[in-house]
Structure 1
Amino acid sequence: MRKFYYLFLLAIIAQCGVPEARRPIKVKTGSILKESVERNKALLKQEEEQIQKIIAADSNNTYLASGGGTWYHYISKNNESDYHPKPDDVVTMEYNIVSMENDTIYTKQEIGTITYNVDKQQLFPGLRNSVKLLKEGESATFLIPSSLAYGYHGDKNKIGTNVPIKTTITIIKIDKSQN
């Protein structure tokens, strides 16, 4: 019985230890955001390389950088006017959307002639910025990276996730703001 008592006492003493403190769970804040930024930078670099290849292969046109992340060339230019659309102007225009491989996504007929109140209506960023580069009667083709097109979400119809696009825009009329 005494052996049993010592064995029992030894088991109890062995179980008694210093309680170990619970450590907080380490949460890596910002790691998902950092990964997303790196992924988007890599995607933009890839799309810019694709755009530069298209520009290099198109020896018939002279491309201009917009300063806002797009590249464009004129189809028809209006040398008689020097007025570009300003905020609150109303622009009547037509445009189409094609892939970088020239596959038609939306025709001008599908989109139709639209009336756009400059900087007051929702258009994708590349189109909003491109409209302000053209004058009345001008037409140009723009190469737009996905970040300035429909981005991660696409248009939830024909344009998928992260798809760079080409769009040919024709400015039919500019109604100047009264301000």
Structure 2
Amino acid sequence: MSCHSNTQSHPPVGGVLSKKDLDVSKDRMKNLNSIERNQIQQWIGMQSVKFYPTQLNYWVTAEGFDKREARQDNSLISYSYDLYDFDDTKIYEEPVARRDAKFGHFDELKAVENALRFIHDGEEVTLLVPSALAYGTFGDEKKIDNDIPLIIKLKAL
């Protein structure tokens, strides 16, 4: 068993933040998002593949991606994806995979769920995702730390 300090960085579930704490948190996320977006745009500039911004604040390798007709709630989709950091290191050996997931009834990363609405069956796309649309300020409590932007290679099966 390890020792932990009793200092909390966030309130417990059901805890209440003061307006000042909320403002500090909001400003931190806004600044972090701006920094990450700039870093991702610099990274894109060094790539041979073209990436296109989406309305939800991530980039994808398909032009006009989020202008396509969206899949409806309760429709089914099977998909898989691999997670990478921006050093192109694969984070988990096995991809995340779901069969016959029903829109409106599954819990997925915001950017992945949004991209699944627009991806065509059999299509593969790469997403560049700021941390706020990935695992945010808490990470995944396994291999992904807090505030880590991700590269997600998504495939509709």
What TM-score results when the alignment is normalised by the length of structure 2? 0.79
Aligned length: 136
Question: Shift in Å at residue 88 of structure 1?
Answer: 1.0
The reply to whether residue 146 of structure 1 matches residue 131 of structure 2 is yes
Q: Is the 8 A contact 1:92 1:115 kept in 2?
A: yes
Q: Is the 8 A contact 1:146 1:163 kept in 2?
A: yes
Q: Is the 8 A contact 1:149 1:165 kept in 2?
A: yes
In the other structure, the counterpart of 2:78 is 92
Q: 2:118 is paired with a residue of what secondary structure? A: coil
Question: Aligned to 1:115, which of 90, 93, 100?
Answer: 100
Counterpart amino acid of 1:87?
Answer: D
Question: Aligned to 1:155, which of 136, 140, 147?
Answer: 140
Q: What per-residue deviation string (whole Å, max 9, x for no partner) do you get for residues 65-96 of structure 1?
A: 1211110104xxxxxxx765321111111110
Question: What stretches of structure 2 of length at least 5 have no aligned partner?
Answer: 1-17, 63-67
The reply to whether residue 55 of structure 1 matches residue 41 of structure 2 is no
In the other structure, the counterpart of 2:29 is 40
Q: Is the 8 A contact 2:80 2:95 kept in 1?
A: no
Q: 2:40 is paired with a residue of what secondary structure? A: helix
What TM-score results when the alignment is normalised by the length of structure 1? 0.70
In the other structure, the counterpart of 1:24 is none
Question: Shift in Å at residue 62 of structure 1?
Answer: 1.9
Q: Is the 8 A contact 1:85 1:91 kept in 2?
A: no
Counterpart amino acid of 2:53?
Answer: A
Q: 1:84, 1:138 → 2: CA distance?
A: 15
Larger radius of gyration: 1
Counterpart amino acid of 1:46?
Answer: I
Structure that is richer in helix per residue: 1
Q: 1:110, 1:73 → 2: CA distance?
A: 19
Q: What per-residue deviation string (whole Å, max 9, x for no partner) do you get for residues 132-152 of structure 1?
A: 121111100000111010111
In the other structure, the counterpart of 2:9 is none
Describe the shift of the 1:50–1:88 C-alpha distance in structure 2 as closer, same or farther (beyond 3 A). Answer: same
Q: 2:146 is paired with a residue of what secondary structure? A: coil
Question: Aligned to 2:54, which of 66, 70, 75?
Answer: 66
Question: Shift in Å at residue 164 of structure 1?
Answer: 0.7
